[in-house]
């Protein structure tokens, strides 16, 4: 059964959240990155960018130093106790609600967590080295489970009756809540412990690098994840005219330890980097 733990995460100061959280770093062109570095000192890009003249080892050191600098300046804050985070993203008519916490590498090793696309060894290696040295997860891996009505009802009631931790808008609306009450934490943990299948919707290379880091370095048995029920995601063809897979079809394929052809699916929502951060060295 799935193991999913609360933790003391880091998140942007509420007044600066819209300036700090970014789309996936790979989405930015060199020119866009340069403009952000010049004009927005709060952007998370300031922590994770690498200049062409910086050696890889110096880059690793710089990322940690910049992260610590954001903490000192209180651009990033840490939760006062262990918590789950509930995240809601609203884009047009679509509303996506997920739970952020720490998933267990052993659930990937056992086959409870299923990948559905092949990864590139070279990219796995690069991300493994980054994780080994920097020890930060700054974007959760998206996992999908078959909907559980009691858990879904709890999440809806919680966000309706609880003040948010932060809220901001860009092309979409982003809201984050903390779940710190012990009874609520135990409920979430129990409900998720009954899950026997999780599909990797986004973050195939990052989860593969977490596995490599754990197996090669005996380090970091957990990774940052966000869990969505299957009715809370949109599964689209990666390119126009491609097959539109359903969650049920993907589950049937991956349960036989098979993979879809490369670039088969485009699963939404896509998540922000720097919205919730897991420091592998300081999370309890």
238-253: b (≥16 Cβ within 10 Å) or e: eeeeeeebebeebbeb
pLDDT given at position 224 = 98
Cα–Cα distances (Å) from 274 to 21, 41, 46, 136, 278, in that order, read: 5, 14, 11, 10, 10
At 212, list the tokens.
């490599």
pLDDT tens string 42-81: 999 999 999 999 999 999 999 999 999 999 999 999 999 9
By C-alpha distance, which of 66, 80, 104 is closest to 189?
Answer: 104
Say yes or no to pLDDT of 258 above 90: yes
- What distance in Å separates the CA atoms of residue 180 and residue 184, rounded to the nearest whole number? 7
**Residue 263 — very low, low, confident or very high, per pLDDT cuts 50/70/90?**
confident
Share of the chain above pLDDT 70, in %: 100
* Residue 119 pLDDT class (50, 70, 90 cuts): confident
By residue count, the chain amounts to: 284
Give the strand pairing for 222-229 and 141-145: parallel
Tell me: the pLDDT tens digits for 206-248? 999 999 999 998 888 999 999 999 999 999 999 888 999 999 9
The per-residue pLDDT for range 71-116, each reduced to its tens digit, is 999 999 999 999 999 999 999 989 999 999 999 999 999 999 999 9
Contacts 24+ apart (CB under 8 A), 46-55: 47/138, 47/274, 48/138, 48/273, 49/25
Chain segment 11-23, per-residue pLDDT in tens: 999 999 999 999 9
Domain positions in the chain are 4-279
């Amino acid at each position: 059964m799935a193991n999913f733990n609360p933790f003391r995460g880091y998140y942007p100061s509420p007044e600066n959240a819209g300036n700090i959280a970014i789309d996936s770093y790979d989405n930015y062109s060199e020119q866009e990155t340069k403009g952000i570095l010049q004009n927005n000192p709060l952007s998370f890009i300031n922590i994770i960018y690498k200049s062409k003249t910086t050696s890889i080892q110096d880059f690793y050191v710089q990322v940690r130093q910049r992260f610590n600098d954001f903490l000192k300046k209180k651009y990033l804050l840490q939760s006062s106790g262990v918590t789950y985070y509930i995240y809601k993203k609203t884009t047009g008519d679509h509303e996506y609600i997920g739970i952020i916490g720490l998933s267990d590498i052993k659930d990937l090793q056992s086959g409870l967590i299923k990948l559905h696309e092949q990864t590139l060894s070279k990219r796995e290696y690069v991300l493994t080295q980054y994780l080994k040295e920097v020890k930060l997860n700054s974007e959760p891996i998206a996992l999908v489970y078959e909907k559980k009505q009691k858990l879904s009802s709890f999440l809806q009631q919680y966000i309706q009756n609880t003040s948010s931790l932060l809220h901001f808008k860009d092309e979409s609306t982003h809201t984050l809540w903390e779940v710190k009450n012990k009874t609520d934490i135990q409920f979430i943990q129990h409900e998720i412990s009954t899950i026997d299948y999780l599909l990797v919707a986004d973050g195939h290379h990052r989860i593969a690098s977490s596995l490599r880091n754990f197996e090669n370095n005996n380090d970091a048995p957990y990774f940052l994840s966000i869990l969505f029920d299957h009715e809370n995601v949109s599964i689209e063809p990666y390119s126009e005219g491609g097959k539109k897979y359903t969650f049920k079809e993907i589950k049937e394929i991956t349960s036989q330890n098979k993979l879809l052809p490369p670039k088969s699916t485009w699963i939404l929502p896509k998540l922000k980097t720097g919205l919730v951060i897991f420091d592998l060295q300081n999370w309890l």
